[in-house]
Amino acid sequence: TSTTSSHVPGPVPTVIPTPTEYQTLGETGHRTLWVTFALMVLSSGIFALMSWNVPTSKRLFHVITTLITVVASLSYFAMATGHATTFNCSTAWDHHKHVPDTSHQVCRQVFWGRYVDWALTTPLLLLELCLLAGVDGAHTLMAIVADVIMVLCGLFAALGEGGNTAQKWGWYTIGCFSYLFVIWHVALHGSRTVTAKGRGVSRLFTGLAVFALLLWTAYPIIWGIAGGARRTNVDTEIMIYTVLDLLAKPVFGFWLLLSHRAMPETNIDLAGYWSHGLATEG
Protein backbone atom coordinates (compact mmCIF):
# COMPACT_ATOMS: atom_id res chain seq x y z
CA THR A 1 0.00 0.00 0.00
CA SER A 2 1.13 3.50 -0.71
CA THR A 3 1.50 6.08 2.02
CA THR A 4 1.59 9.14 -0.17
CA SER A 5 -1.29 11.51 0.30
CA SER A 6 -2.12 11.54 -3.38
CA HIS A 7 -3.74 8.15 -2.89
CA VAL A 8 -5.90 9.27 0.01
CA PRO A 9 -9.39 9.93 -1.24
CA GLY A 10 -11.04 13.21 -0.26
CA PRO A 11 -11.32 16.83 -1.29
CA VAL A 12 -8.32 18.29 -3.05
CA PRO A 13 -7.03 21.31 -1.11
CA THR A 14 -7.17 24.41 -3.20
CA VAL A 15 -5.24 27.66 -2.80
CA ILE A 16 -7.24 30.76 -3.65
CA PRO A 17 -4.76 33.27 -5.00
CA THR A 18 -5.17 36.83 -3.76
CA PRO A 19 -5.65 39.06 -6.79
CA THR A 20 -2.74 41.47 -7.05
CA GLU A 21 -2.70 44.94 -8.52
CA TYR A 22 0.79 45.96 -9.62
CA GLN A 23 1.63 49.67 -9.52
CA THR A 24 4.72 49.93 -11.65
CA LEU A 25 6.42 52.41 -13.95
CA GLY A 26 5.27 52.78 -17.55
CA GLU A 27 6.92 54.01 -20.73
CA THR A 28 6.73 57.68 -19.65
CA GLY A 29 8.34 57.02 -16.27
CA HIS A 30 11.07 54.93 -17.88
CA ARG A 31 11.88 57.63 -20.42
CA THR A 32 11.87 60.30 -17.70
CA LEU A 33 14.46 58.34 -15.71
CA TRP A 34 16.77 58.17 -18.75
CA VAL A 35 16.35 61.88 -19.58
CA THR A 36 17.11 62.81 -15.96
CA PHE A 37 20.19 60.58 -16.04
CA ALA A 38 21.40 62.40 -19.17
CA LEU A 39 20.80 65.83 -17.62
CA MET A 40 22.66 64.87 -14.44
CA VAL A 41 25.65 63.63 -16.49
CA LEU A 42 25.60 66.83 -18.56
CA SER A 43 25.50 68.99 -15.41
CA SER A 44 28.38 67.01 -13.88
CA GLY A 45 30.45 67.64 -17.00
CA ILE A 46 29.71 71.37 -16.99
CA PHE A 47 30.44 71.68 -13.25
CA ALA A 48 33.76 69.88 -13.75
CA LEU A 49 34.62 72.24 -16.64
CA MET A 50 33.72 75.26 -14.53
CA SER A 51 36.54 74.39 -12.13
CA TRP A 52 39.08 74.28 -14.99
CA ASN A 53 40.65 77.70 -14.41
CA VAL A 54 40.08 77.71 -10.66
CA PRO A 55 43.14 76.92 -8.48
CA THR A 56 42.80 73.58 -6.69
CA SER A 57 42.73 75.28 -3.29
CA LYS A 58 39.62 77.22 -4.32
CA ARG A 59 37.69 74.34 -5.82
CA LEU A 60 35.86 73.14 -2.73
CA PHE A 61 32.37 74.21 -3.87
CA HIS A 62 33.07 72.94 -7.40
CA VAL A 63 34.13 69.53 -6.09
CA ILE A 64 31.12 69.15 -3.81
CA THR A 65 28.64 70.37 -6.45
CA THR A 66 30.06 68.01 -9.08
CA LEU A 67 29.97 65.11 -6.64
CA ILE A 68 26.28 65.74 -5.97
CA THR A 69 25.28 65.43 -9.64
CA VAL A 70 27.65 62.50 -10.17
CA VAL A 71 25.88 60.58 -7.40
CA ALA A 72 22.50 61.53 -8.89
CA SER A 73 23.68 60.28 -12.30
CA LEU A 74 24.59 56.91 -10.80
CA SER A 75 21.28 56.67 -8.99
CA TYR A 76 19.27 57.54 -12.11
CA PHE A 77 21.31 55.08 -14.20
CA ALA A 78 20.46 52.36 -11.69
CA MET A 79 16.75 53.21 -11.67
CA ALA A 80 16.53 53.58 -15.48
CA THR A 81 18.11 50.15 -16.01
CA GLY A 82 15.76 48.52 -13.53
CA HIS A 83 18.10 48.33 -10.57
CA ALA A 84 17.66 49.73 -7.06
CA THR A 85 13.96 48.93 -7.11
CA THR A 86 11.63 46.45 -5.44
CA PHE A 87 7.92 45.88 -4.84
CA ASN A 88 6.18 46.62 -1.56
CA CYS A 89 3.01 44.51 -1.24
CA SER A 90 0.15 44.92 1.18
CA THR A 91 -3.59 44.54 1.47
CA ALA A 92 -5.33 47.24 -0.55
CA TRP A 93 -6.73 50.28 1.21
CA ASP A 94 -10.26 51.59 0.71
CA HIS A 95 -9.79 55.36 0.46
CA HIS A 96 -13.52 56.04 0.81
CA LYS A 97 -14.37 53.89 3.81
CA HIS A 98 -10.89 54.24 5.38
CA VAL A 99 -10.60 50.52 6.01
CA PRO A 100 -8.44 47.76 4.48
CA ASP A 101 -9.91 46.35 1.29
CA THR A 102 -9.26 42.62 1.65
CA SER A 103 -10.50 41.78 -1.84
CA HIS A 104 -7.03 42.25 -3.30
CA GLN A 105 -3.49 43.28 -2.54
CA VAL A 106 -1.44 46.07 -4.04
CA CYS A 107 2.23 45.77 -4.93
CA ARG A 108 3.78 49.17 -5.56
CA GLN A 109 7.19 49.70 -7.08
CA VAL A 110 9.61 51.38 -4.66
CA PHE A 111 12.81 52.91 -6.02
CA TRP A 112 15.07 52.53 -3.01
CA GLY A 113 17.96 53.91 -5.10
CA ARG A 114 16.53 57.37 -4.34
CA TYR A 115 17.29 56.95 -0.65
CA VAL A 116 20.88 55.93 -1.37
CA ASP A 117 21.16 59.06 -3.52
CA TRP A 118 19.60 61.30 -0.86
CA ALA A 119 21.69 59.79 1.95
CA LEU A 120 24.81 60.87 0.08
CA THR A 121 23.74 64.09 -1.65
CA THR A 122 21.59 65.87 0.94
CA PRO A 123 24.49 65.94 3.47
CA LEU A 124 26.67 67.44 0.73
CA LEU A 125 24.05 70.10 -0.05
CA LEU A 126 23.84 70.96 3.66
CA LEU A 127 27.63 71.06 3.83
CA GLU A 128 27.65 73.64 1.03
CA LEU A 129 25.11 75.84 2.82
CA CYS A 130 27.00 75.54 6.11
CA LEU A 131 30.38 76.28 4.51
CA LEU A 132 28.92 79.28 2.71
CA ALA A 133 27.45 80.69 5.93
CA GLY A 134 30.47 79.79 8.07
CA VAL A 135 28.55 77.49 10.43
CA ASP A 136 30.90 75.76 12.88
CA GLY A 137 31.81 72.09 12.55
CA ALA A 138 29.76 70.88 15.53
CA HIS A 139 26.50 72.30 14.25
CA THR A 140 27.22 71.28 10.67
CA LEU A 141 27.84 67.71 11.83
CA MET A 142 24.62 67.63 13.87
CA ALA A 143 22.59 68.87 10.92
CA ILE A 144 24.16 66.24 8.67
CA VAL A 145 23.54 63.40 11.13
CA ALA A 146 19.89 64.45 11.55
CA ASP A 147 19.60 64.61 7.76
CA VAL A 148 20.92 61.05 7.33
CA ILE A 149 18.49 59.85 10.02
CA MET A 150 15.69 61.61 8.09
CA VAL A 151 16.54 59.76 4.87
CA LEU A 152 16.89 56.40 6.63
CA CYS A 153 13.47 56.91 8.24
CA GLY A 154 12.07 57.48 4.76
CA LEU A 155 13.73 54.28 3.55
CA PHE A 156 12.32 52.25 6.46
CA ALA A 157 8.87 53.75 5.87
CA ALA A 158 9.06 52.88 2.18
CA LEU A 159 10.27 49.30 2.64
CA GLY A 160 8.40 48.37 5.81
CA GLU A 161 4.82 47.18 6.13
CA GLY A 162 2.96 48.44 3.11
CA GLY A 163 -0.52 49.33 4.33
CA ASN A 164 -1.62 52.28 6.40
CA THR A 165 0.33 50.99 9.37
CA ALA A 166 1.63 52.63 12.53
CA GLN A 167 5.05 51.36 11.52
CA LYS A 168 5.08 53.16 8.18
CA TRP A 169 3.64 56.44 9.41
CA GLY A 170 5.72 56.20 12.59
CA TRP A 171 8.95 56.16 10.59
CA TYR A 172 7.60 58.98 8.47
CA THR A 173 6.85 61.08 11.57
CA ILE A 174 10.30 60.48 13.05
CA GLY A 175 11.74 61.52 9.69
CA CYS A 176 9.74 64.76 9.76
CA PHE A 177 11.05 65.60 13.24
CA SER A 178 14.59 64.99 12.01
CA TYR A 179 13.89 67.33 9.11
CA LEU A 180 12.72 70.07 11.51
CA PHE A 181 15.97 69.61 13.42
CA VAL A 182 17.93 70.09 10.17
CA ILE A 183 16.06 73.28 9.25
CA TRP A 184 16.44 74.62 12.78
CA HIS A 185 20.20 74.09 12.75
CA VAL A 186 21.01 75.37 9.30
CA ALA A 187 18.62 78.33 9.29
CA LEU A 188 19.33 79.48 12.82
CA HIS A 189 23.09 79.06 12.90
CA GLY A 190 23.55 79.94 9.25
CA SER A 191 21.71 83.24 9.53
CA ARG A 192 23.73 84.06 12.67
CA THR A 193 27.19 83.36 11.31
CA VAL A 194 26.71 84.58 7.75
CA THR A 195 26.40 88.24 8.76
CA ALA A 196 30.14 88.27 9.52
CA LYS A 197 30.78 87.49 5.84
CA GLY A 198 29.21 90.65 4.53
CA ARG A 199 26.10 91.68 2.65
CA GLY A 200 26.76 89.85 -0.61
CA VAL A 201 27.28 86.47 1.02
CA SER A 202 24.31 87.05 3.35
CA ARG A 203 22.04 87.72 0.43
CA LEU A 204 23.31 84.69 -1.49
CA PHE A 205 22.92 82.43 1.54
CA THR A 206 19.39 83.63 2.21
CA GLY A 207 18.41 83.10 -1.43
CA LEU A 208 19.86 79.60 -1.61
CA ALA A 209 18.54 78.59 1.82
CA VAL A 210 14.97 79.73 1.07
CA PHE A 211 15.11 78.02 -2.35
CA ALA A 212 16.32 74.80 -0.69
CA LEU A 213 13.76 75.05 2.11
CA LEU A 214 10.84 75.31 -0.34
CA LEU A 215 12.12 72.46 -2.52
CA TRP A 216 13.09 70.14 0.31
CA THR A 217 9.72 70.57 1.99
CA ALA A 218 8.04 69.33 -1.18
CA TYR A 219 9.76 65.93 -0.83
CA PRO A 220 7.97 64.71 2.33
CA ILE A 221 4.67 66.06 0.92
CA ILE A 222 5.09 64.12 -2.34
CA TRP A 223 6.27 61.10 -0.39
CA GLY A 224 3.14 61.15 1.74
CA ILE A 225 0.80 61.40 -1.23
CA ALA A 226 2.60 59.10 -3.68
CA GLY A 227 4.75 56.53 -1.87
CA GLY A 228 2.87 56.71 1.43
CA ALA A 229 -0.83 56.93 0.63
CA ARG A 230 -0.36 55.60 -2.94
CA ARG A 231 -2.68 58.22 -4.38
CA THR A 232 -0.66 58.84 -7.57
CA ASN A 233 0.64 56.39 -10.11
CA VAL A 234 4.34 55.57 -10.26
CA ASP A 235 4.98 57.63 -13.42
CA THR A 236 3.57 60.79 -11.86
CA GLU A 237 5.74 60.19 -8.80
CA ILE A 238 8.83 59.82 -11.01
CA MET A 239 8.08 63.02 -12.91
CA ILE A 240 7.54 65.12 -9.78
CA TYR A 241 10.74 63.83 -8.18
CA THR A 242 12.61 64.57 -11.42
CA VAL A 243 11.54 68.22 -11.40
CA LEU A 244 12.48 68.55 -7.72
CA ASP A 245 15.83 66.76 -8.20
CA LEU A 246 16.78 68.95 -11.17
CA LEU A 247 16.01 72.10 -9.19
CA ALA A 248 17.66 70.90 -5.97
CA LYS A 249 20.88 69.67 -7.62
CA PRO A 250 21.84 71.20 -11.02
CA VAL A 251 19.91 74.50 -10.70
CA PHE A 252 21.04 74.97 -7.08
CA GLY A 253 24.58 74.10 -8.17
CA PHE A 254 24.70 76.58 -11.07
CA TRP A 255 23.32 79.31 -8.83
CA LEU A 256 25.95 78.61 -6.18
CA LEU A 257 28.95 78.25 -8.51
CA LEU A 258 28.14 81.27 -10.69
CA SER A 259 27.60 83.50 -7.64
CA HIS A 260 30.71 82.07 -5.98
CA ARG A 261 32.79 83.02 -9.04
CA ALA A 262 31.65 86.63 -8.79
CA MET A 263 32.21 86.82 -5.02
CA PRO A 264 35.80 86.24 -3.85
CA GLU A 265 34.73 86.52 -0.19
CA THR A 266 32.97 83.13 -0.52
CA ASN A 267 36.34 81.43 -0.98
CA ILE A 268 37.24 78.93 1.70
CA ASP A 269 40.93 78.42 2.27
CA LEU A 270 41.56 74.82 3.14
CA ALA A 271 45.29 75.03 2.54
CA GLY A 272 46.13 75.19 6.23
CA TYR A 273 43.80 72.32 7.02
CA TRP A 274 45.17 70.10 4.26
CA SER A 275 48.78 70.59 5.34
CA HIS A 276 48.50 70.95 9.13
CA GLY A 277 45.17 69.51 10.21
CA LEU A 278 43.00 71.35 12.68
CA ALA A 279 44.80 73.52 15.22
CA THR A 280 44.63 72.69 18.93
CA GLU A 281 44.30 75.33 21.61
CA GLY A 282 46.95 76.21 24.19
Q: What is the 3-state secondary structure (H, E, C) of 40-108?
A: HHHHHHHHHHHCCCCCHHHCHHHHHHHHHHHHHHHHHHHHHCCCCCEEEEEEEEECCCCEEEEEEEEEE
Task: Report the alpha-carbon distance of residue 141 to residue 145 in Å, rounded.
Answer: 6
- Residue from 60, 129, 130, 150 that binds ligand RET (CB under 6 A)? 150
Task: Report the alpha-carbon distance of residue 272 to residue 278 in Å, rounded.
Answer: 8
Q: How far is the CB of 238 from ligand RET (least distance, A)?
A: 14
Binding residues among 44-63 for ligand RET as defined by CB under 6 A: none
- Residue from 153, 186, 238, 257 that binds ligand RET (CB under 6 A)? 153
- Residue from 248, 253, 259, 266 that binds ligand RET (CB under 6 A)? 248
Task: Report the alpha-carbon distance of residue 129 to residue 183 in Å, rounded.
Answer: 11
Task: Report the alpha-carbon distance of residue 176 to residue 147 in Å, rounded.
Answer: 10
The dihedral over CA atoms of 178, 180, 183, 189, expressed in degrees to the nearest 10, equals: -90
Binding mask 94-133 for ligand RET (x = CB under 6 A): ------------------------x--xx-----------
- Residue from 78, 135, 245, 259 that binds ligand RET (CB under 6 A)? 245
Q: Quick check: helix, strand or coil at residue 110?
A: strand
77 binds ligand RET (CB under 6 A): no
Candidates 41-49, 94-102, 191-199, 219-227 — which segment interacts with ligand RET by CB under 6 A?
219-227
Candidates 46-54, 75-83, 214-222, 232-240 — which segment interacts with ligand RET by CB under 6 A?
214-222
Task: Report the alpha-carbon distance of residue 39 to residue 61 in Å, rounded.
Answer: 20
The dihedral sign for the CA sequence 78, 75, 120, 228: negative
Q: How many residues are present in the chain?
A: 282
- Residue from 58, 185, 189, 249 that binds ligand RET (CB under 6 A)? 249
- Residue from 113, 134, 175, 253 that binds ligand RET (CB under 6 A)? 175
230 binds ligand RET (CB under 6 A): no
Q: How far is the CB of 13 from ligand RET (least distance, A)?
A: 43
- Residue from 78, 151, 208, 238 that binds ligand RET (CB under 6 A)? 151
> What are the C-alpha distances in Å from 233 to residues 22, 65, 183, 245?
10, 32, 30, 18
208 binds ligand RET (CB under 6 A): no
Q: Which residues contribute to the site for ligand RET (CB under 6 A)? A: 118, 121-122, 150-151, 153-154, 172, 175-176, 179, 216, 219-220, 223, 245, 248-249
